[in-house]
Amino acid sequence: MHIPDGYLSPSTCAATFAMAAPFWYVASRKVKSRLHTKLVPLMAVVSAFSFVVMMFNLPLPGGTTGHAVGLAIAAIVLGPWAAVLSISIALLIQAVFFGDGGITAIGANCLNMAIVGPFVAYFVYQALAGRSELTSVRRVVAAGVAGYVGINAAALLAAIEFGIQPMLFHDATGAPLYAPYPLAIAVPAMMAGHLAIAGIAEAVAGAGLVAVLQRTEPELLDLTASHPATAGRWRETRALWFGLGLIMLLSPLGLLAAGTAWGEWGAADFADPAVRQEIAAASGNVAPPEGIPAGLERLSSVWSAPIPDYAPSFLKNEHLGYILSAVMGSGLVLLVFAGIGALRDRRSPTV
């Protein structure tokens, strides 16, 4: 998948370089903010690892062999942003020093294999692995699928880069100046090899490495598992969820309570003689003011509750109204805390 010089036009190379540049910038900022002085040495050795791992030929089911790019491995262990940097540096050294991939195509190769591939692999892995335990088989499967999907996403992008060349660049005789095959040929030709061989190599590498790390150093898988469920998060919290549900169902018990809640009076309550008697009884027989207090009257119109007195207007049954109000109120509280959690995660993103 390393695109050599001469297959892509200079303008395509420039465009892919421009697309990759912001990712490099953001990645360097994010990684540096997390690693500080460790950035240079860690990136150097991990880039060297990315380089060396591409030299491992893996035996694949069916008797053939293939080498993995290692994009899923890097994304799963280090996170997508660190993977962007380490694979980009490995690709740069491959292109300049070992002639594997073109120097002018370095932007395209990095966009395909160091940016799109790792990000796709990372999100697929996170989606499939979920909050499973670090040592679960689910993570092995997720890593394999992530590698397979990630490398094929990168291959598809490379095929599109190849396929648009003959549409855009011809010489005077009409001969394509760069990669000669249109999308209708480039995409199936590229994808056949990657779906059948390279994707399987990447899947074997991703799944195999996660399986090895689960046995030897599972803590390395913890770096990108933002919410690892080493003891099972559901098991830890399920009693609370059941308790919350039970309380919601019991919420209509509040209807059994007589009288008014002291201090929770509305402006209209001061005009209602029956309620005035209750207010006086609840206040040690001290009569409430004759009129509605001015401040209470002014502020009472500022906000009108959408579901006053826990009784939705569309529900006739007040018990069901209480339960629905409990569900909605709890849901809103959970949403607020989920939002706060998301904000916190954004401030300390995964590298």
Residues of span 32-51 touching another protein by CB under 8 A: 36-49, 51
Asked whether position 168 contacts another protein by CB under 8 A, the answer is no
Instruction: Give the C-alpha separation, 207 to 146, whole Å.
Output: 9
The nearer residue to another protein, 6 or 339, going by C-beta atoms, is 6
Cα–Cα nearest to 254, from 305, 328, 308, 326: 326
- Binding window for another protein (CB under 8 A); candidates: 92-100, 110-118, 245-253, 325-333: 92-100
Contacts of 181 (CB under 8 A, 6+ apart): 162, 163, 166, 189
- Binding window for another protein (CB under 8 A); candidates: 60-68, 152-160, 275-283, 308-316: 60-68
| # residues near another protein by CB under 8 A | 71
Q: Which pairing describes strands 57-59 and 65-67: parallel, antiparallel, or unpaired?
A: antiparallel
* Phi, psi at 216, each rounded to 5°: -100, -55
Asked whether position 217 contacts another protein by CB under 8 A, the answer is yes
Single-letter amino acid code for the residue at 122: Y
The nearer residue to another protein, 32 or 276, going by C-beta atoms, is 32
By CB atoms closer than 10 A (0-12, 13-18, 19+), residue 8 is buried
The nearer residue to another protein, 208 or 312, going by C-beta atoms, is 208
Asked whether position 73 contacts another protein by CB under 8 A, the answer is yes
Per CB under 8 A, the list member of 15, 28, 130, 266 interacting with another protein is 28
The nearer residue to another protein, 105 or 324, going by C-beta atoms, is 105
Contact 327, 260 (CB under 8 A): no
The nearer residue to another protein, 93 or 328, going by C-beta atoms, is 93
* Alpha-carbon dihedral angle through residues 142, 146, 149, 155, given to the nearest 10 degrees: -160
186-215: which residues touch another protein (CB under 8 A)? 204-205, 208-209, 211-213
Question: Rounded to the nearest whole angstrom, what is the least distance from the CB of residue 98 to another protein in the complex?
Answer: 7
Question: Rounded to the nearest whole angstrom, what is the least distance from the CB of residue 295 to another protein in the complex?
Answer: 58
Q: Using alpha carbons, list the distances in angstroms from residue 179 to 101, 186, 191.
A: 15, 9, 16
Per CB under 8 A, the list member of 22, 180, 331, 349 interacting with another protein is 180
The nearer residue to another protein, 24 or 270, going by C-beta atoms, is 24
The nearer residue to another protein, 19 or 53, going by C-beta atoms, is 53
128-167: which residues touch another protein (CB under 8 A)? 166
The nearer residue to another protein, 82 or 326, going by C-beta atoms, is 82
Asked whether position 224 contacts another protein by CB under 8 A, the answer is no
Q: How many CB atoms lie within 10 A of CB 64?
A: 13
- Binding window for another protein (CB under 8 A); candidates: 98-106, 272-280, 323-331, 339-347: 98-106
Instruction: Give the C-alpha separation, 81 to 195, whole Å.
Output: 25
Q: Using alpha carbons, list the distances in angstroms from residue 167 to 9, 163, 181, 184.
A: 12, 8, 9, 11
Question: Rounded to the nearest whole angstrom, what is the least distance from the CB of residue 28 to another protein in the complex?
Answer: 8
Contact 205, 77 (CB under 8 A): no
Per CB under 8 A, the list member of 127, 167, 175, 340 interacting with another protein is 175
